[in-house]
Amino acid sequence: MGYARVGLALARGIATAALVFFLTPQSKAQTVDVSGRYQCAQAKVRGKVIPCKAAPLILKNDGHFELRGWEGSYLVNGQWVELSDSLIKTRAKIEPGHKIVLRYYGKHGLVEMTYERRVAEMGKTALS
């Protein structure tokens, strides 16, 4: 009779734990809002820093982007922003300080473009 009681109590405990586990709402993963206008802050070509005069990277709220006439969609995946259109897919790394670093191979070798989002200045109401 002692084992039956222990078994019944154990079964109730497991059933209660399972019920609590499956019925508690799961919290959704937080997504990082990276939308905005990013100015080119720095460019590296073959390891040398050069002045950056590139067009801005624009990440729109609806999941689309624009970069030097290249348009497509983007998706945030962890610490990466995946940029793609119907033919090309690439990814850029999200770094602290509102920065996105895009690395690619151009005609001069490895190129690293650092885009920085400008935060609002005192007296201004919008982020740019």
How does the average pLDDT of the chain come out, rounded? 80
Amino acid at 26: Q
Instruction: Kindly tell me if the per-residue pLDDT of 42 is higher than 70.
Output: yes
Q: Where are the beta strands (DSSP E) in the chain?
A: 36-45, 48-50, 57-59, 64-67, 70-77, 80-84, 89-95, 99-106, 109-117
Residue 18: pLDDT band with limits 50, 70, 90: very low
Kindly list the structural domains of the chain, giving each domain's residue range(s) and its CATH number in brackets, ordered by start. Answer: 36-117 (2.40.128)
Judge whether residue 30 has pLDDT over 60: no
- The pLDDT of residue 10 is 54
Per DSSP, 127 falls in state -
Percent of the chain topping pLDDT 70: 69
pLDDT at 4: 67
For range 99-108, the mean pLDDT = 90
What is the pLDDT at residue 7?
57
**What pTM does this model have?**
0.67
